[in-house]
Amino acid sequence: MKGHDKSVDWWAAGAVMYEMLVGQGPFPDERSITKHREGTLACPEHLVSRDAANLINGLLHPTPHLRLGIKGGFQEIQQHSFFRGLDFDDLLERKLPPPIPIRMSNAGLGNFNIEEFDSSDSEEDEPRTIEEDGPEAWYVSF
């Protein structure tokens, strides 16, 4: 059985990036896979920038040894125009603000009375082990 090299990882990164930007996988049917093997993947222009489409197509190149990242590794991908202006050192050190600010609110807690909840009142004791209850006890509620 033949193993896989890193080209499959870069391909997967391209597929995930496409799905995150478009909202569906890049190959919804067999026809789209066949079409991709013959050329580049069409990315919806209203959802995917030119740089993002170029990066995705580089990662999803149908010929594994020609995929972006195979020759130059992660540094090759970091240098792609899609990442222009991004400081990867700051990103890894968590110095960059989130691209979409997180708004904290109780909006999703409408069905819960959060004033009554106090984690110190928890009735949960120390976790039990299988040895204490016997292995079958863990599956009683299933």
pLDDT at 108: 66
What is d(CA 97, CA 61) in angstroms, rounded to the nearest whole number? Answer: 32
Q: What is the CA radius of gyration of the chain?
A: 24
Spell out, as residue ranges, where the chain has pLDDT lower than 50: 142
Contact between 56 and 41 under an 8 Å Cβ cutoff? The reply is: yes
Contact between 99 and 105 under an 8 Å Cβ cutoff? The reply is: no
pLDDT at 77: 97
pLDDT at 30: 84
Helix-then-strand count for the chain, H and E: 6, 0
- Domains for the chain: give ranges and CATH numbers: 7-92 (1.10.510.10)
pLDDT at 113: 72
Contact between 69 and 10 under an 8 Å Cβ cutoff? The reply is: yes
CB contact burial 25-62 (16+ within 10 A = b; e otherwise): ebbeeeeeeeebeeeebebeeeebeeebbbbbbbbbbe
> What is the reported pTM?
0.68
